[in-house]
Amino acid sequence: MLFSRSKTRVAMGATLATVALFAAACSSSSSTSSTTTTGASTSTTLPTTNIATQSTVASVAALVPASISKTGQVTFAMDATYPPDEFIAPGSATIVGMDADFAVAIAQTMGLKAILKNVTFDSIIPGLQAGKYDVGNSSFTDTLARQKVVDFADYFQAGEAFYTKSGDTTTYSSLESLCGHSVAVETGTVEQTDAQAANKSCKKANNQGVTVLSFADQNAVNLAVSSGRADVGFADSQVSGYVVTASNGEFQLSGTAFNEAPYGMATQKGNGMVSAVAAALTQLQSNGTYTAILKKWGLESGAVQSIVINGATS
């Protein structure tokens, strides 16, 4: 990449203050907390595919740290404003999406109950560090920087993409194309980091900086674009695509996806939970559930051949 790395949502120690720099980017009953912001108008029809209930796999369950297994549940944290990865089902408080389905299937494989928490994106890694959550599965890109404070079980590949209001004739095809424009991003994502780096590079190259507008959730990002406050929205490729599809013609993709990188499910650094998550995901691959979940949400193109722990190279 030209400037930084994709979110696809600089270590100064494993402190809560540093976490915003690490945040990525980014259908089951669940427990949720917090609220979401209303964004641009969308029409969402949820897929009806049922994901098979998983049987407990003893070898996977044995890898779960005792401090977690003794509770009988696994707490997953996600920012449910990022469809189709994780979002709130219309007319309910239920978290749905690819990551919600993975969370339930992973927990079942471990012989535990999945508890899904809807929280702000940049609070997830601090929560993992503090032991408040067991797994962060909210479209996190695995990066070497983030590996300094959390472990990742890599399970998906995604890039970054721009979207604009329909009819906009400007083409945003790279980070350099942001020069002289305003871009909306979710706070704590690598899209934010990339846009900020582009601002510096643009100023150095031609004195035309980038106005970077960051928001607490993806819905607010969408609203900034639809209202004209931002020229362009910037998110993970499959999320940008979903935003466009669900916008009833209000948005359009601009340029093509770039900066492909692995998504990882984040766990507390060094507590061993990452091995259990990776083993559960490997089991889901072997029995076809992994493919079924991706197919349900139209995300087959992001499938990986094998589950890797801390696989980032940059």
User: In the chain, where does the domain assigned CATH 3.40.190.10 lie?
Assistant: 16-158+262-299, 160-259
In CATH, the number for domain 160-259 is 3.40.190.10
Contact in structure between 97 and 85 (CB atoms under 8 Å) = yes
Residue 176 backbone zone (phi > 0: left; psi -120 to 50: alpha; other: beta): alpha
From 312, 202, 296, select the one nearest 260 (Cα to Cα).
312
Q: Which fold has domain 16-158+262-299?
A: D-Maltodextrin-Binding Protein; domain 2 (3.40.190)
pLDDT digits (tens, 9 = 90+) for 118-171: 999 999 999 999 999 999 999 999 999 999 999 999 999 999 999 999 999 999
- Across the chain, mean pLDDT equals 87
Tally of CB atoms within 10 A around 53: 9
Judge whether residue 3 has pLDDT over 80. no
Residue 2 has pLDDT above 70, yes or no: no
Q: Look up tokens 């790279």; give the residue.
A: 174
Nearest to 193 by CA among 29, 60, 30, 9: 9
Please write the tens of the pLDDT for every residue from 195-211: 999 999 999 998 799 99
pLDDT tens-digit profile of 26-49?
333 333 333 333 334 344 578 889
| DSSP label at residue 229 | S
Q: How far apart, in whole angstroms, are the C-alpha atoms of residue 57 and residue 147?
A: 28
Three-state DSSP at 174 gives: coil
Q: Which of 3-17, 33-47, 240-254 has the lowest mean pLDDT?
A: 3-17
pLDDT top residue among 187 and 38? 187
Percent of residues in the chain assigned helix, strand, coil, to nearest 5? 30, 25, 45
Compute how many other C-beta atoms are within 10 angstroms of the C-beta atom of residue 236: 34
